[in-house]
């Protein structure tokens, strides 16, 4: 497995050292001599797509099939189905997806969700963003924030990560919905985009396409299927990763009005081994910070901002669906200088989130929710 790092002028390409370990329980980092292990804290959640924490310390986990779990001190205290939207369409990669409380949740009580919705134009479904309030063990006061159009019967590439930036703007992703030939490069079509809205769903006046060609809600385009987003703790910029096809998974720094190139440029190839991209670089199209070849199928993403992991503060964690490990990316500024595999051998890593206690929590499909714990062993 190799992670590719691009120099500032993008050439030549450098292959970074990838450190591996042979067991699930423990991994050692040569930079800080830190050992970590995966501690299972919640069992019984099959596909925990999104993880979020409320100010009181409760954990919320969305289950792809359409359940919202409330968890307190490692115990499931409620399996919420009351108020789950009736237009939820569970199919292929679609279902009940991400969850994110408003930054001012204690004042307004809003929680934001993404899911595959059958509402709207055409058969099938597309990504929808809503906000709702938690009243006991029911979702209430549901409001639609955004709905991707048109629907599609293709069951892949819903994107669906949701984050808030430091100014309270809501960012979310919608994948190309399996229609790479049209959606990602068409400024007037949903799909293959990252969006920015105000928290109430209105359009920020300084969005890059307001008053120009393109969707007013659109922030960047030319994406394939972004399933990881996080806000850099120092720069405040949104970072995102996305699936490539066979190779070409990318980590990008998301900037307004930028074109990230899919499918015109890519470091990947078709699943059958044939080539499709016109090039790997082109003027007017952004290069990734890093890419993986072969693909690791990235999902979930978090910056470490606590002191629980000595030497790792400011580093980036990315989950691998394909190989069931967490990639620890050692950052120096915006440069990735090393990669290390953590906690190999769990289920497919779907979501990663830092908890209010400073520890990293992640979901592993078929297992449940784990906590990443430093170890002296």
| CA pair distance 323, 325, nearest whole angstrom | 6
| CA pair distance 325, 206, nearest whole angstrom | 39
| CA pair distance 130, 62, nearest whole angstrom | 14
Whether the Cβ atoms of residue 63 and residue 56 lie closer than 8 Å to each other: no
Active-site residue set: 157
| CA pair distance 224, 57, nearest whole angstrom | 34
Q: Secondary structure of 139-166 in the HEC alphabet?
A: EEEEEEEEECCCCECCCCCCCCCEEECC
Q: What is the pLDDT of residue 44?
A: 93
| CA pair distance 200, 313, nearest whole angstrom | 33
| CA pair distance 304, 53, nearest whole angstrom | 15
Beta carbons within 8 Å of 317's beta carbon, 6+ residues apart? 300, 301, 302, 303, 304, 326, 327, 328, 329, 342, 352, 360
Closest C-alpha to 232, from 344, 135, 318, 333: 333
Beta carbons within 8 Å of 202's beta carbon, 6+ residues apart? none
| CA pair distance 218, 359, nearest whole angstrom | 33
Q: What is the pLDDT of residue 273?
A: 93
Return the half-sphere exposure (C-beta side, CA atoms, 13 A cut-off) of residue 332.
5
Other CB atoms within 10 Å distance of the CB of residue 371? 17
Beta carbons within 8 Å of 229's beta carbon, 6+ residues apart? 161, 162, 163, 171, 172, 173, 194, 238, 239, 240, 254, 301
Domains and CATH numbers, the chain: 3-375 (2.120.10.30)
Question: Cα separations (Å) of 325 from 17, 75, 138, 231?
Answer: 16, 24, 34, 22
Strand order across the beta sheet in which 193-197 lies: 162-164, 170-174, 193-197, 218-221
Whether the Cβ atoms of residue 85 and residue 117 lie closer than 8 Å to each other: yes
Strands 335-342 and 18-19: parallel
Place of tokens 């960012």: 171
Q: Which helix (H) or strand (E) holds 136?
A: none
Q: Which two tokens stand for residue 109?
A: 């009580």
Alpha-carbon dihedral of residues 341, 347, 353, 359, nearest 10 degrees?
A: -70
Phi, psi angles (nearest 5°) of residue 357:
-85, 0
21: which DSSP letter?
-
Per-residue tens of pLDDT for the chain, all 377 residues? 445 544 333 333 333 333 333 333 455 454 557 999 999 999 999 999 999 999 999 999 999 999 999 999 999 999 999 999 999 999 999 999 999 999 999 999 999 999 999 999 999 999 999 999 999 999 999 999 999 999 999 999 999 999 999 999 999 999 999 999 999 999 999 999 999 999 999 999 999 999 999 999 999 999 999 999 999 999 999 999 999 999 999 999 999 999 999 999 999 999 999 999 999 999 999 999 999 999 999 999 999 999 999 999 999 999 999 999 999 999 999 999 999 999 999 999 999 999 999 999 999 999 999 999 998 65
Q: Which two tokens stand for residue 208?
A: 């890059």
């Amino acid at each position: 497995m190799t992670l590719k790092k691009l120099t500032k002028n993008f050439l030549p390409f450098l292959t970074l050292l990838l450190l591996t370990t042979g067991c699930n329980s423990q991994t050692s980092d040569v930079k800080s001599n830190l050992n970590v292990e995966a501690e299972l804290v919640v069992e019984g959640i099959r596909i925990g797509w999104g993880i979020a924490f409320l100010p009181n310390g409760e954990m919320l986990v969305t289950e792809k099939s359409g359940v919202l779990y409330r968890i307190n001190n490692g115990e499931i205290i409620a399996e919420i189905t009351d108020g789950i939207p009736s237009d939820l369409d569970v199919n292929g990669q679609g279902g009940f997806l991400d969850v994110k409380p408003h930054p001012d949740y204690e004042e307004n009580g809003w929680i934001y969700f993404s899911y595959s919705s059958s509402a709207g134009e055409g058969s099938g479904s597309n990504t929808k963003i809503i906000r709702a309030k938690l009243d006991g063990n029911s979702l209430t006061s549901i409001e639609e924030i955004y709905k991707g159009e048109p629907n599609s019967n293709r069951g892949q590439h819903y994107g669906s990560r949701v984050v808030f930036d430091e100014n309270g703007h809501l960012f979310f992703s919608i994948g190309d919905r399996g229609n790479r030939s049209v959606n990602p490069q068409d400024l007037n079509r949903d799909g293959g985009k990252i969006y920015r809205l105000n928290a109430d769903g209105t359009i920020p006046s300084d969005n890059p396409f307001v008053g120009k060609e393109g969707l007013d809600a659109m922030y960047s385009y030319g994406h394939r299927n972004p399933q990881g987003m996080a806000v850099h703790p120092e720069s405040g910029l949104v970072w995102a990763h996305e699936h490539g096809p066979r190779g070409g998974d990318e980590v990008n720094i998301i900037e307004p009005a930028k074109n990230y190139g899919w499918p015109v440029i890519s470091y990947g190839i078709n699943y059958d081994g044939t080539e499709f991209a016109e090039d790997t670089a082109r003027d007017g199209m952004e290069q990734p910070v890093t890419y993986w070849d072969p693909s690791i199928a990235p999902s979930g993403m978090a910056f470490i901002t606590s002191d629980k992991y000595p030497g790792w503060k400011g580093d980036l964690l990315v989950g691998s669906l394909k190989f069931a490990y967490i990639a620890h990316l050692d950052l120096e500024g915006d440069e990735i200088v090393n990669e290390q595999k953590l906690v190999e051998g769990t289920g497919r890593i779907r979501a990663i989130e830092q908890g209010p206690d400073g520890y990293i929590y992640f979901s592993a499909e078929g297992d449940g929710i784990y906590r990443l714990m430093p170890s002296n062993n």
